[in-house]
């Protein structure tokens, strides 16, 4: 069971080059959050789901924090979603820069995908703090 927010589009200021962080670019993001929503499904119980609007607010806030690497942005989003939503057991995320600064690039974008269980991600975060 998972909730999905698909093809979210943001204008943000991420990139290795200073011009990317100054001018900005469009990004698309897909996020799927695994959770048990059996009770919501069976009983139409709104208290047993994640509010899509709340998830969107968290993702939007993280997208507005400039970073050099999309990997870092995506990792921050996963960490923040796990922190805010205890029901989330796993997260799949895809973050794409629509027009990367690559000469003669002909495609829909470049980006990153990540899939983490809560346990695996929290172990990773714990190890980061030891470094």
Strands 2-12 and 25-34: antiparallel
Residue 101 and residue 32 in contact, taking contact as beta carbons nearer than 8 Å: no
The residues annotated with a catalytic role in the active site are 97
Report the residue count for the chain: 131
d(CA 113, CA 77): 12
CA angle 56/34/78 to nearest 5° reads 50
How distant, in Å, are the alpha carbons of 25, 40, 76 from that of 64?
A: 12, 32, 11
């Amino acid at each position: 069971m998972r909730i999905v927010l698909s093809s979210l589009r943001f204008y943000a200021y991420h990139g290795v080059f200073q011009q990317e962080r100054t001018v900005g670019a469009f990004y698309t993001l897909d996020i799927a959050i695994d959770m048990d929503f059996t009770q919501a499904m069976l009983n139409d119980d709104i208290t047993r789901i994640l509010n899509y609007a709340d998830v969107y607010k968290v993702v939007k806030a993280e997208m507005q924090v400039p970073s050099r690497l999309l990997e870092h942005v995506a990792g921050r989003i996963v960490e923040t979603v796990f922190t805010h939503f205890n029901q989330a057991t796993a997260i799949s995320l895809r973050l794409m820069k629509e027009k990367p600064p690559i000469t003669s690039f002909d495609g829909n974008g470049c980006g990153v995908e990540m899939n983490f269980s809560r346990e695996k991600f929290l172990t990773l975060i714990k190890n980061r703090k030891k470094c």
